[in-house]
C-alpha cells in the first residue's frame, strides 16, 4: 500500500478518531508486526500537538506461548508496575489509539479454561481502575492487515496480494481514498447517523421484537429515557471523537435482565483468538441460559459464565443489510468490521452514555437504571436480509424499524 495513503489513514485516526488535543498525551496499542503504521500514527500524534506518545507493543504469537507455558497462577498475577501504568492513565486521561491486526485464529489450540480464568482474575484487579476513566477520554480502534489475517480473508491469494486486497477493503470501509478528504467524509457520515438516532429517540420505544426465518425470535426491553447513539461521541468537555472506525451502527443499552427468546448468529465470532461459527443463544428472564454451536460450544458457555453480567445484554445495535461493508461481500473475521455489516447485540457491559444525565449519576444509580455491568463486552452479529424488527412504543403503537434487513423509518 502506498505510504501516502497509509499516512492519510494515520492522520484520520489522530484527527477524527481520537481528535487529539494539543498538550494531551497519547497511548498507541499495536502489534510489533505493524510497526510501520504505528510509527506513522505516533508521528501524526506529535504533529497534532501531543505532549507525549507511548506505544504499547504486543505480539499474538508470544502471547500464545505465555498461555501455553506459564502456570495459571502466574498468568493471573497483576504486577505493581502494571497497576501503576493504568493508574497513570486514569489520572492523565490520554487519548488511546488501538490498532487491530490479529489473526482471527491466532489463539487456536490454547487451553480455553486456563486463558479465561487468568483473564478473569486480571480483569477483577484492573477493572475498578479502568472504570474510573469511562466516558472521560477519547479512544478509537482502527485496523491494518497482518499477513495471517489477510490470508484468512482471502485464502486463495498469495500473501502479498491478500495483504494488498485487505488494505483496499479496510481503506474503503473507513472512507479513505487518494483524492478525498476523509475528515470531511466522516463529518457528513456522523451527521447521517445522528439523524437516524433522532428518529429512533422520538419514538420512545418500550421494546423491540426481532424475527427472521433462520430461527431468531427475540424480544428485548429498553431503559425508559435512554437514547440511541451512533457515529461520534462527545465528552463532557465538549471534545468529539469517533471510537470505532469504521462505524455504520446506531445503538443503545437495553434494560438489564429483561429479554426473551432466541438469537441466531449470522456471521462468525472471533473471540479471544478463536473462531466460532454457526451458533445461537437462548434467553430466558433476561439471561442467556443455553448456547448451541457446531464447535467451541464450551468457549461460549465459559464466556457467559465469566461473571454475573456476562450472560445478559449490554448493547443492541442496528445496521442495515445494505451497509457499505455488507455490500462489499467481504467477511473480515473481525468484529470491528463484521459488526458493521449486520445488526448485532453484545453480551456483557452496557454503555452509560446512552442514559440521559449519566454524567451526574453515581455508579449505583446507573446500575439501578438498568445498565448491565460486566468484565466482558462481546458483540455477535444477528442481522440478515430477512430480518424484521418491530418496535413497540410506550404509548402502545407498533412501528416497523427494519423490514427485510433494511431501515423502515
Q: Using an 8 Å Cβ cutoff, are 112 and 68 in contact?
A: no
pLDDT per position as a tens digit, 359-385: 788 888 998 999 999 989 999 999 999
Q: Where do the domains of the chain lie, and which CATH numbers do they carry?
A: 3-173 (3.40.1830.10), 183-407 (no CATH)
Residue 150 has a pLDDT of: 96
Residue 134 has a pLDDT of: 83
Task: For residues 403 and 405, give the distance between their C-alpha atoms in angstroms, rounded to a whole number.
Answer: 5
**Would you state the cell numbers that stand for residue 38, as one nine-digit string?**
504505528
Q: Report the range of poorest mean pLDDT among 33-47, 186-200, 210-224, 268-282.
A: 268-282
pLDDT per position as a tens digit, 134-147: 889 999 999 999 99
Task: For residues 11 and 45, give the distance between their C-alpha atoms in angstroms, rounded to a whole number.
Answer: 8
pLDDT band at 295 (very low <50, low <70, confident <90, very high): confident
Residue 74 has a pLDDT of: 97
Residue 1 has a pLDDT of: 80
Report which of 111, 140, 187 is spatially closest to residue 26, judged by C-alpha positions.
140
Q: Using an 8 Å Cβ cutoff, are 274 and 112 in contact?
A: yes
The CB density around residue 409, as the number of other CB atoms within 10 Å, is 14
Report which of 246, 254, 293 is spatially closest to residue 271, judged by C-alpha positions.
293
In this prediction the pTM is 0.85
Report which of 294, 290, 263, 289 is spatially closest to residue 277, judged by C-alpha positions.
294
**Would you state the cell numbers that stand for residue 173, as one nine-digit string?**
470501509
Helix (H) or strand (E) holding 166, with range, is helix 159-173
Residues of 57-68 as b/e, b for ≥16 C-beta within 10 angstroms?
eeebeebbeebe
Residue 168: phi and psi, rounded to 5, are: -60, -45
Residue 322 has a pLDDT of: 87
Amino acid at each position: 500500500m502506498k505510504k501516502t495513503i497509509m499516512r492519510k489513514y494515520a492522520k484520520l485516526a489522530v484527527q477524527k478518531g481520537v481528535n487529539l488535543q494539543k498538550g494531551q498525551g497519547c497511548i498507541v496499542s499495536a502489534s510489533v508486526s505493524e510497526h510501520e503504521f504505528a510509527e506513522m500514527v505516533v508521528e501524526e500524534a506529535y504533529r497534532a500537538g501531543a505532549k507525549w506518545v507511548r506505544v504499547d507493543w504486543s505480539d499474538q504469537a508470544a502471547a500464545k506461548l505465555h498461555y501455553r507455558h506459564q502456570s495459571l497462577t502466574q498468568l493471573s498475577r497483576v504486577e505493581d508496575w502494571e497497576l501503576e501504568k493504568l493508574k497513570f492513565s486514569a489520572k492523565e486521561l490520554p487519548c488511546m489509539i488501538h490498532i487491530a491486526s490479529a489473526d482471527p485464529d491466532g489463539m487456536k489450540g490454547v487451553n480455553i479454561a486456563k486463558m479465561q480464568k487468568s483473564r478473569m482474575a486480571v480483569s477483577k484487579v484492573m477493572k475498578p481502575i479502568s472504570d474510573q476513566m469511562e466516558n472521560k477520554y477519547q479512544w478509537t480502534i482502527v485496523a491494518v492487515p497482518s499477513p495471517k489475517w489477510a490470508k484468512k480473508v482471502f485464502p486463495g491469494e498469495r500473501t502479498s496480494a491478500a495483504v494488498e486486497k485487505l488494505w483496499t477493503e479496510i481503506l474503503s470501509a473507513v472512507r479513505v481514498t487518494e483524492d478525498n478528504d476523509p475528515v470531511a467524509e466522516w463529518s457528513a457520515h456522523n451527521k447521517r447517523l445522528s439523524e437516524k438516532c433522532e428518529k429512533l429517540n422520538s419514538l420512545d420505544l418500550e421494546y423491540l421484537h426481532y424475527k427472521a426465518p433462520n430461527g431468531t425470535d427475540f424480544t428485548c426491553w429498553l431503559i425508559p429515557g435512554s437514547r440511541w447513539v451512533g457515529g461520534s461521541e462527545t465528552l463532557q468537555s465538549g471534545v468529539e471523537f469517533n471510537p470505532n472506525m469504521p462505524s455504520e451502527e446506531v445503538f443503545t443499552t437495553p434494560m438489564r435482565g429483561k429479554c426473551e427468546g432466541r438469537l441466531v448468529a449470522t456471521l462468525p465470532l472471533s473471540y479471544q483468538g478463536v473462531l466460532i461459527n454457526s451458533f445461537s443463544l437462548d434467553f430466558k428472564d433476561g439471561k442467556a441460559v443455553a448456547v448451541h454451536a457446531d464447535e467451541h460450544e464450551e468457549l461460549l458457555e465459559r464466556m457467559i459464565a465469566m461473571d454475573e453480567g456476562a450472560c445478559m445484554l449490554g448493547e443492541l445495535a442496528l445496521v442495515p443489510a445494505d451497509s457499505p461493508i455488507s455490500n462489499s461481500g467481504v467477511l473480515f473475521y473481525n468484529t470491528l468490521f463484521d459488526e458493521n455489516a449486520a445488526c448485532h447485540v453484545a453480551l456483557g457491559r452496557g454503555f452509560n452514555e446512552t442514559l440521559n444525565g449519566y454524567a451526574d449519576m453515581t455508579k449505583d444509580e446507573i446500575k439501578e437504571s438498568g445498565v448491565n455491568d460486566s468484565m466482558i463486552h462481546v458483540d455477535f452479529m444477528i442481522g440478515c436480509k430477512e430480518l424484521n424488527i418491530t418496535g413497540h412504543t410506550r404509548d402502545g403503537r407498533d412501528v416497523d424499524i427494519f423490514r427485510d434487513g433494511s431501515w423502515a423509518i
